[in-house]
Amino acid sequence: MQPILVSPQEIRGIVTMHEAVEAVRLGFREWGENPQLNAPRRRIHIPTGVRVSVHQGGVPAAQATGLMTHCEWVKPMASEQVYPRLNHPVIVLYDAAEGELKGIIVGEITCSELPDNVAVTGLRTAATSAVGTDLLARPDASTLGIFGAAGQAKNHLLALMQVRKLKTVKVYSRNPENRKQFCDEMGPITNLNIVPVATPAEAVRGVDIVLTATNSSVPVFDGNLLEPGQHVTTIVGSNVGLVKGGFTAAKRREIDDATLSRSDVHGIVSIQQAVQDEQADIFDPVNRGVIKWEQLIEIGAILAGNSEGRTRMDQITFYKNNAGQGVADVALGAKVLENIKAKKAGLVLNY
SS3 (DSSP) at 52: strand
- When mean pLDDT is compared over 192-196, 235-239, 244-248, the highest value belongs to 192-196
Return the pLDDT at 146: 98
Say if residue 244's pLDDT is above 80.
Answer: no
Dihedral angle of Cα 33, 310, 332, 84, to the nearest 10 degrees: -130
How are strands ordered across the β-sheet holding 143-147? Answer: 193-196, 168-172, 143-147, 209-212, 231-234, 317-320, 265-268, 296-298
CB neighbourhood size of 245 (10 A): 15
Say if residue 77's pLDDT is above 70.
Answer: no
Residue 34 · residue 44 · CB < 8 Å: no
Return the pLDDT at 251: 80
Is the pTM higher than 0.75? The answer reads yes
Say if residue 78's pLDDT is above 70.
Answer: no
At the fourth CATH level, the homologous superfamily of domain 129-320 is NAD(P)-binding Rossmann-like Domain (3.40.50.720)
DSSP-derived letter for residue 111 is B
Residue 70 · residue 87 · CB < 8 Å: yes
Return the pLDDT at 349: 94
Return the pLDDT at 264: 98
Return the pLDDT at 249: 66
Domain 4-119+326-348 has CATH 3.30.1780.10: yes
Residue 163 · residue 134 · CB < 8 Å: yes
Angle of the 122-136 helix axis to the 326-342 helix axis, nearest 10: 120
Any idea which of 42-46, 153-157, 219-223, 229-233 has the lowest mean pLDDT? 42-46
Say if residue 233's pLDDT is above 80.
Answer: yes
**CA count, 13 A, side-chain hemisphere, 276:** 12
Give percent of the chain above pLDDT 70.
96
Cβ contacts of 174 within 8 Å, gap of 6 or more? none
Say if residue 306's pLDDT is above 80.
Answer: yes
Give percent of the chain above pLDDT 90.
85
Q: How confident is the model at residue 80 (pLDDT cuts 50, 70, 90)?
A: low
Tens-digit pLDDT profile for residues 311-343? 999 999 999 999 999 999 999 999 999 999 999
Residue 167 · residue 191 · CB < 8 Å: no
Dihedral angle of Cα 43, 109, 32, 64, to the nearest 10 degrees: -100
Return the pLDDT at 120: 81
Q: Stretch 297-314: mean pLDDT, rounded?
A: 97
Can 4-119+326-348 and 129-320 be said to share one CATH topology?
no
Determine phi and psi for 68, rounding to 5 degrees. -125, 140
DSSP-derived letter for residue 130 is H
How many helices and strands, by DSSP H and E, does the chain display?
11, 16
Say if residue 69's pLDDT is above 80.
Answer: yes
Dihedral angle of Cα 279, 158, 17, 331, to the nearest 10 degrees: 10
Return the pLDDT at 171: 98
pLDDT, mean over the chain = 94
Cα separations in angstroms, 115 against 14, 15, 98, 108, 228:
8, 9, 34, 10, 37
The domain segmentation of the chain, as residue ranges, is 4-119+326-348, 129-320
Tens-digit pLDDT profile for residues 159-198? 999 999 999 999 999 999 999 999 999 999 999 999 999 9
Q: How confident is the model at residue 274 (pLDDT cuts 50, 70, 90)?
A: very high
Say if residue 259's pLDDT is above 80.
Answer: yes
C-alpha closest to that of 57 among 82, 26, 79 = 26
